[in-house]
Amino acid sequence: MYLNQFLFLAAFLFCVGVYGVLARKNAVLVLMSIELILNAVNINLVAFGLFRESVAGQVFALFVIAVAAAEVGVGLAIVILIYRNRHSIDLTEVDMMKG
């Protein structure tokens, strides 16, 4: 088993995803970056599951995939809502309120 290689791939994807969420201005690309993080999680879970000889890892990954689909469904709906009202999905323009 080359566990390390999977973990490095997952860690790399995680970093790319976090960078994308912080740096991208386009809402759809931010959603895709979040998907990258979730896929890093899935790689981790499946690799560890095989390494630990436990099916729990794969079952967890299946749950993550299913829930991520529901999440993205809601996310795209919100993005479409914003597009209808503003004709833009640039996140820097969504700043009526300042935290």
Mask 63-82, x = binds other proteins (CB under 8 A)? xx--x--xx--xx-xxx-xx
Q: Phi then psi for 88, rounded to 5 degrees?
A: -165, 145
**Tokens at 14, concatenated:** 């995680």
Residue 26, strand partner residues? 90
Residues 29-68 that bind other proteins (CB under 8 A): 30, 34, 37-38, 40-41, 44-45, 47-60, 63-64, 67
Q: Phi then psi for 90, rounded to 5 degrees?
A: -75, 120
**Residue 26 sits in the site that holds other proteins (CB under 8 A):** no
Which residues are within 8 A (CB) of 3 and not within 5 positions of it... i.e. 6 or more apart?
47, 48, 51
Q: Which of 25, 86, 88, 90 binds other proteins (CB under 8 A)?
A: 86
- On whether the CB atoms of residues 26 and 91 are closer than 8 A, the answer is yes
> Which residues bind to other proteins, rule: CB under 8 A?
1, 7, 10, 14, 17-18, 21, 27, 30, 34, 37-38, 40-41, 44-45, 47-60, 63-64, 67, 70-71, 74-75, 77-79, 81-82, 85-86, 91, 94-99
